[in-house]
Homo-oligomer: A and B are copies of this chain.
Amino acid sequence: MPLSKFQSLITRRGWLAAVALSAVLGACAPMATAPGADPLPSWNEGVNKQRIVEFVRAVSTEGGKDFVPAAERIAVFDNDGTLWLEYPLYTQVRFVFDRVRELAPQHPEWKDKEPYKSVIAGDIKGAMASGSQGLFELVLAAQSGTTPAEFEATVRQWIQASKDPRFKRPYTELSYQPMQELLRYLRANGFKTYIVSGGTVDFMRAFAEPVYGIPSEQVIGTRQKFVFELKDGQPLVKMLPALEFNDDKEGKPIAIAQIIGKRPIAAFGNSDGDFQMLQWTTAGAGRRLGMIVHHDDAVREYAYDRDSSIGKLADGLDQYQARGWGLISMKNDWKLIFAPAK
């Protein structure tokens, strides 16, 4: 995504124009599909690529024994660490830390109170020591009091002004190119692609369409409570500093059942937070696909799994074979990690 080209387009409609453009480019470029052309050019040949291609062919071939009607071709993707970079700090956490620092002058009470104090001091380690409870507190403090539309505009402004410290590129350019190809390949074969992530839904909606071609209604995530209010006679929906639903672990299949109302036939994740989603998806009748992105490429990205506090993958490593899931090696399966900078 050459997001930098669209610096001036920070309204949603502007972004949608950008999306439309990128969708056209996206559709034309890697899909410039002469019949028989490779739909996954950034994937090395091997069992994992083969598994994907055979699955897609099986479920979309009418008359075949594994055929699935298009309306039921639902594929779900975790976001952080599955579709884009999550290490060593989730992008949303980076946003929240910046936002807390920005809002600090209006909250003198934060100065002496953890985890705010560490965030304001730029002490990431100290802030992370507050654990997931502390992190939720920061997220809710940083993401409430406005309408979702106003909040999305704030996220877009931040994301356009920010770069990853190691790769020196905007976060929106740090999605995984092989997964981008996979999203497009699935959609070209009648799939509806969903994000199902532990990140909060309004944060992801600020970039899901331009970055992944996934519209807001196909983004499922952790939800804050909202309230309906009249302000000077104008009705508005406002984000509250209260957690409504944690879309992680068991939360993922639950949210899918509640919001999509169908069991997916394909699921992609990278951490044990995705375990139940893969488990539920692949336990359904008929042909199913479950795959885990394994971060084993310390040179081009990062190598982490069992002992990591970000993206911990232990149950998945122990059980993927017995469960018939694929383990994607970023090092061996992917020709490149990110699209080259333009």
Q: What bracket does the count of chain A residues touching chain B fall in?
A: 35 or more
Q: Give the most central of A17, A69, A258, A260: most B CB within 10 Å.
A: A258
* A202 lies within 8 A of B261 (CB): yes
Docked pose: A279 CA to B237 CA in angstroms: 11
A89 in the interface (beta carbon within 8 A): no
Docked pose: A236 CA to B285 CA in angstroms: 13
Which of B235, B250, B258 is the one whose CB lies under 8 Å from A223? B258
Q: Which residues of B contact A262 (CB under 8 A)?
A: 216-217
Q: Among the listed stretches A226-234, A298-306, A309-317, which one makes contact with chain B, having 4 or more residues with CB under 8 Å of it?
A: A226-234
Docked pose: A35 CA to B237 CA in angstroms: 41
Q: Which residues of B contact A254 (CB under 8 A)?
A: 226-228, 237
Which residues 49-69 of A sit at the B interface, judged by CB distance below 8 A? 69
Q: How far is the CB of A45 from chain B (nearest CB, A)?
A: 33
Which residues 115-155 of A sit at the B interface, judged by CB distance below 8 A? 148-149
Which of B19, B71, B259, B263 is the one whose CB lies under 8 Å from A215? B71
Q: Which residues of B contact A260 (CB under 8 A)?
A: 216-217
* A13 lies within 8 A of B69 (CB): yes
Digit string of A256-280 for contact with B (CB within 8 Å is 1, else 0)? Answer: 0111111100000000000010011
* A234 lies within 8 A of B276 (CB): no
Residue of B nearest to A280 (CB): B235
Q: Which residues of B contact A244 (CB under 8 A)?
A: 258
* B279 lies within 8 A of A253 (CB): no
* B276 lies within 8 A of A250 (CB): no
Which of B16, B219, B226, B253 is the one whose CB lies under 8 Å from A257? B226
A38 in the interface (beta carbon within 8 A): no
Docked pose: A152 CA to B257 CA in angstroms: 12
Q: How far is the CB of A139 from chain B (nearest CB, A)?
A: 16
Q: Which residues of B contact A227 (CB under 8 A)?
A: 250, 254
Known: A253-B235, A280-B228. A258 touches B201 (CB 8 A): yes
Q: Which residues of B contact A253 (CB under 8 A)?
A: 228, 235, 237
Q: How far is the CB of A222 from chain B (nearest CB, A)?
A: 11
Docked pose: A69 CA to B13 CA in angstroms: 8
Digit string of A1-38 for contact with B (CB within 8 Å is 1, else 0)? Answer: 00000000000010011011000000000000000000
A205 in the interface (beta carbon within 8 A): yes
3 closest A-B pairs (Cβ-Cβ)? A216-B261, A228-B250, A237-B257
Of the A-B pairs whose beta carbons lie under 8 Å apart in the complex, a sample of 13, sorted by A's number, is A16-B69, A16-B72, A17-B69, A19-B71, A149-B263, A201-B261, A217-B217, A217-B261, A228-B250, A228-B280, A235-B276, A235-B279, A237-B254
